[in-house]
Structure 1
Amino acid sequence: MNGSIRHIAPPEMLSRAWKVVVVGAGGTGSALLPSLARLHHAMLALGHPGGIECEVYDDDTVSEFNVGRQGFYPNDVGQYKASLLVNRLNLLMGTSWRAVSRRVDSSTALRADIVIGCVDSRAARHAIVQSARRGGCRYYLDCGNERDRGQVILGELGKGRPDRLPHVGDLFPDMLNAKNDSGDNTPSCSMADALRKQSLVINLAIAVQAFNLLWSLFRDGGLKFSAVFVNLAAGRTNPLPIDPAAWARFGYEAPPAAETGRNPARGRKAA
């Protein structure tokens, strides 16, 4: 194991299938899901015993204005996004994934190793975090974006461990506060209107960074950084190292180290 890695993947995730829930099958979700299928096959090829078992939640249907900007085609219009993407991947990639064509709210209990949120509203993000906690999920991978910038943050939802990766709500509490949503939830009336609100490239850029984090978690058995900030306008990508001092710059203070004196920046020891 590379000595510079600070977060070690849980041993059980290297000995059985990863249970992954993706919430949101729009711009970022439709870009990320094919990559998750590729990761599934890569894991199996490299000797992982189960690859990925995935469940996708989204209650939306494909509109004509999603075609070209999201991962959909003209013949997809009117179909549910989640079932469409999952059925397509199951057919083409030989997976046995499941689609749930409904919205995740705070009463839902998501049970997974990793919940991936591909949503932009704070209300939706808050509901996902609450649902993941209710179901006892370990990781929450937040994939959020604005017009030409965004963030990918992998965090853990447990409490009390000094080496726990902070999730998006730890680093940016306002991102879980629905009162801060812009209120502009009206659908675009044309693809041109949608592109004025959001870069054509940003969802793909966010999906690639999320894919890379998950690949590193498997292939390297751990991570050197747990978040990436993307700014297309500036042509800049900034990783967030796994370091309590770096987290503190965002106002997050890691819990005190245990009495053993173990350095929280070094992460858990591999079993």
Structure 2
Amino acid sequence: MSKPKKIKQQLTAVHIVEKELLQPYNPILINLIGAGGTGSQMLTALARINQALIALNHPGLMVHLFDDDKVERPNLARQLFTTAELGLYKSVALINRVNRFFGTNWKAETERYDRNYCAINRAFATITISCVDTVDARFEIAGILDTYKIQSGNYRGRPLYWMDFGNSKDTGQVVLSTIGKIPQPTSKKYQPIENLPFVTEEFKELLIQSENTDNTPSCSLADALAKQDLFINSTLANLGASLLWQVFREGILFNRGFFLNLKDFRTQPLKVA
């Protein structure tokens, strides 16, 4: 009588974080693109992560915030600005505040992060975080980061990860991608995944469909709140920051993002696969 065949158990897919982020010699370089509703909230979350990492004997973070917009009245309340900052560049207002509060020396860039800027400046960073509100801007960032996939060698600020934030009125998503392949160790317990696809590759059709969303400037705070819920940006930023905190503290990812529906208070994780 033949023995029954053993069913091979499928291993759980995971991503092992590049060790350069876990035990670096210098602060991790981060480009935060966009200082609006989500970007302004994310900057504060990054400052908290930085402070916690330093307390744990990690060199911390070095952030460059990109935004060429200035603070206007419709930005108040939904974004982290005050009336005293009206007319200032968003990036300058936020970076000055964070530097004073947390004692950091982070930098504000009052220019748009695009191909023209990157052709003149070596604007690479280990982690790129995009909080932009147009599909075209997201695809342009993807195109810029795509050029770093083929660059070899180990150097400070070598682009490794891209975290993208996107949202509508009361829904949103965060997707973490690798810039190229991150070498993974062998494992008998897990199935390590070396490549996490760009949001522009994996969800290209959905992004193109959302391109027709009304992106006209708001004339008042009431108008702005009609387009986006008051807490959608801060909720996305905090959940995304929690994912980034797992990157630094745990070094292994079972989820590489999530989808959020704030109206129904539902969050759906995006598994590593």
Q: TM-score range by the shorter chain?
A: 0.7 to 0.9
Please, which of 173, 179, 185 is the counterpart of residue 204 of structure 2? 173
The CA deviation string for residues 162-201 of structure 1, in whole angstroms up to 9 with x for no partner, is 6211221122013565x85226332111111111111111
Structure 2: unaligned runs, 5 residues or longer: 1-10, 150-158, 184-192
Query: Could you list the runs of 5+ residues in structure 1 that have no partner in the other structure?
Result: 244-271
Aligned position for 1:12: 20
Match of 1:143 in 2: 165
Given that residues 119 and 125 in structure 1 are in contact (C-alpha distance below 8 angstroms), is that contact kept between their aligned partners in structure 2? yes
The size of the alignment, in residue pairs, is 239
Decide whether aligned partners of structure 1 residues 72 and 142 sit closer, same or farther in structure 2, where only a CA change above 3 A counts: same
In the alignment, structure 1 residue 132 sits paired with structure 2 residue 142: no
Q: TM-score, normalized by length of structure 1?
A: 0.82
The superposition leaves residues 52-85 of structure 1 with CA deviations (integer Å, 9 ceiling, x where unpaired) of 0110100000001111110011111110000111
* Distance in 2 separating the partners of 1:241 and 1:36: 23
User: 1:23-102 counterparts in 2 under 5 A?
Assistant: 23-48=33-58, 50-102=59-111
Q: Aligned-pair RMSD on alpha carbons? A: 2.1
Rg (Cα) greater in structure: 2
SS at the partner of 1:88?
Answer: helix
Cα separation, partners in 2 of 1:187 and 1:108, compared to 1, 3 Å: same
Q: Deviations over 1:124-161 (max 9, x none)?
A: 10111122233552211001100100000001121597
Residue 22 of structure 1: which of 18, 32, 38 is its match? 32
Amino acid at match of 1:32: M
Contact 2:148 / 2:179 at 8 angstroms: preserved in 1? Answer: no
| 1:218 aligned residue | 248
The CA distance in 1 between the partners of 2:240 and 2:76, in whole Å, is: 23
Q: Residues 183 and 225 from structure 1, CA distance in 2 versus in 1: closer, same or farther, beyond 3 angstroms?
A: closer
Written as runs of structure 1 = structure 2, the 5 A alignment for 1:184-199 is 184-199=214-229
Residue matched to 2:126: 113
Question: What TM-score does the superposition give when structure 2 sets the normalisation length?
Answer: 0.82
Percentage of pairs with the same residue: 41
Decide which moves more: 63-72 or 165-174: 165-174
